[in-house]
């Protein structure tokens, strides 16, 4: 699998969430994703970036443009050094929130992409990697 391009963005403020949405959108357009696929990936990215800001005080997003057997995809890795998630299964459940949200971000983001991988260790941080293929 070839990685054609990478970029890393910091998420430290609400403005950075907007910036993540814009950059992911630009990459998805460049990869010639359909409008619906662009929208799904940007929405998933918005959810995960906001989670990092709200629950971990910030983090980073790494974008990777992929090519595999003629297929084009985008992979996004959200990494933070926040409190981590003790029970991932519970956190993934729709409706589960420790904040004031609806508890839809994690489960929703998973439904919006083709690949979703979450690693988290309490006290160490959380890493969520998603990919969407064209």
Ligand X SMILES: Nc1ncnc2c1ncn2[C@@H]1O[C@H](COP(=O)(O)OP(=O)(O)OP(=O)(O)O)[C@@H](O)[C@H]1O
Q: Sheet harboring 71-80: ordered strands across?
A: 2-11, 59-68, 71-80, 125-133, 115-121
Site for Mg ion, residues 24 to 83, rule: CB under 5 A: 51
Residue 57, C-beta contacts closer than 8 angstroms, at least 6 positions apart: 80, 82
Under the binding rule (CB under 8 A), the answer on residue 40 touching other proteins is yes
Looking at 17, 49, 91, 113, which residue binds ligand X (CB under 6 A)?
Answer: 91
CB closer to other proteins, 6 vs 13: 13
CB-CB contact of 66 with 3 (8 Å): yes
Looking at 6, 10, 12, 22, which residue binds other proteins (CB under 8 A)?
Answer: 22
Stretch that binds other proteins, among 71-79, 83-91, 102-110, 122-130 (CB under 8 A): 102-110
CB-CB contact of 28 with 113 (8 Å): no
Helices (H), strands (E): how many in the chain? 4, 5
Under the binding rule (CB under 5 A), the answer on residue 126 touching Mg ion is no
The site that binds other proteins (CB under 8 A) totals a number of residues, namely: 26
Under the binding rule (CB under 6 A), the answer on residue 105 touching ligand X is yes
């Amino acid at each position: 699998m070839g990685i054609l391009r990478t970029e890393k963005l910091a998420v430290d403020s609400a403005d950075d969430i907007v910036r993540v949405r814009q950059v992911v959108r630009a990459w998805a357009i460049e990869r010639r994703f359909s409008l619906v696929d662009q929208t799904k990936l940007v929405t998933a990215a918005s959810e995960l970036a906001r989670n990092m800001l709200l629950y971990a005080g910030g983090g980073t997003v790494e974008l990777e443009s992929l090519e595999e057997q003629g297929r084009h995809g985008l992979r996004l890795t959200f990494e933070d050094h926040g409190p981590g998630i003790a029970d991932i299964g519970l956190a993934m459940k729709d409706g589960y929130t420790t904040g004031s949200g609806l508890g839809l971000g994690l489960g929703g983001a998973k439904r919006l992409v083709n690949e979703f991988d979450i690693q988290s260790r309490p006290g160490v941080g959380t890493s969520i990697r998603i990919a969407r293929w064209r």
